[in-house]
């Protein structure tokens, strides 16, 4: 058979593609359940950390999530709720454009939307070591019990010289990652506005 002929080329290319893709789809369907489970667990852990609920391992996280968190639908938006120090608190899954790609995370606020209770990230594509540091504890911890400024927003700045008491609603930016810091500020403020629109009337 002519190995350089048209028919041979088409048949061989087709069969090789078919075999490899068939194996891939088998592997994919065998692992999908595990991957979805991992993603769900990841999201649940982020919701718990945003509310400041401490857990030691994956099992404890799942149990705590079931026990303490419920979801509530307000005007077609799904929110998570729980009680933090006796008060009802809400969390929203946020999503927005970072410097390189989508940033997804959880933002938890008190019911009057005056204070951020906490923030955790689910996924991002920012540069490791630079913008990627939004996923580091020192950055995320800045959002813990953060009072918002008069406009109900936060500002991410390099204003490190000011006294801590003058820094209502201010978060330290990431050095050498100005674009990510700016994009992140925008995403958070957008979702704060959305949360106050959703919860404001209550």
Partner 1 sequence: MVGKLLTISKENLWTNNPIFIQILGICSALAVTNNLINTTIMSAGLIFVTGFSNLTVSLLKHIIPRKVRMIIQTLIIAFYVIIVDLILRAFLPDISRALGPYIGLIITNCIIMGRAEAFAGSHPPLISLWDGLTSGAGYMGVLMLIAFIRELLGYGSIFGMPVILEGKLFGLWLIFPEGFQGWIIMLMPPSAFFLLGIFIWIAKTIMLKHKDKS
Q: Rule CB under 8 A: which residues touch partner 1?
A: 3-4, 8-9, 12-13, 16-17, 20, 23-24, 27-28, 31, 34-35, 38-39, 41-42, 101, 123-125, 128-130, 175-176
CA–CA distance, 170 with 108 (Å, rounded to integer)? 17
Give the nearest distance from C-beta 193 to partner 1 in angstroms: 28
Q: Are 156 and 98 in contact (CB under 8 A)?
A: no
Shorter beta-carbon distance to partner 1: residue 42 or 179 = 42
Shorter beta-carbon distance to partner 1: residue 13 or 149 = 13
Backbone angles phi, psi at 163, to 5 degrees: -65, 145
Shorter beta-carbon distance to partner 1: residue 12 or 168 = 12
Give the nearest distance from C-beta 122 to partner 1 in angstroms: 9
Shorter beta-carbon distance to partner 1: residue 89 or 119 = 119
Give the nearest distance from C-beta 180 to partner 1 in angstroms: 13
* Residue-wise burial string across 61-75, b where 16 or more C-beta atoms lie within 10 A, e elsewhere: bbebbeebbeeeebe
Q: Could you tell me the two tokens for 16?
A: 């090789």
The candidate with the shortest Cα–Cα distance to 151, out of 113, 97, 201, 198, is 113
């Amino acid at each position: 058979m002519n190995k350089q002929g048209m028919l041979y080329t088409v048949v061989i290319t087709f069969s090789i593609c078919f075999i490899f893709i068939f194996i891939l789809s088998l592997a994919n369907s065998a692992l999908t359940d595990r991957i979805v489970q991992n993603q769900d667990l990841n999201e649940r852990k982020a919701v718990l950390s945003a509310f400041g609920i401490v857990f030691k391992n994956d099992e404890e996280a799942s149990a705590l999530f079931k026990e303490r968190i419920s979801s509530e639908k307000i005007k077609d938006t799904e929110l998570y709720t729980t009680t933090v120090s006796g008060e009802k608190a809400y969390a929203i899954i946020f999503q927005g454009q970072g410097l390189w790609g989508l940033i997804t995370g959880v933002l938890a606020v008190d019911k009057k939307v005056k204070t951020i209770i906490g923030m955790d990230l689910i996924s991002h594509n920012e540069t490791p070591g630079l913008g990627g540091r939004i996923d580091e504890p020192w950055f995320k911890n800045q959002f813990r019990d953060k009072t918002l400024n008069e406009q109900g927003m936060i500002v991410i700045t390099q204003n490190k010289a000011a006294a801590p008491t003058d820094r209502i609603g201010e978060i330290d930016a990431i050095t050498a990652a100005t674009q990510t810091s700016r994009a992140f500020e925008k995403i958070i403020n957008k979702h704060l506005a959305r949360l106050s629109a959703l919860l404001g009337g209550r």
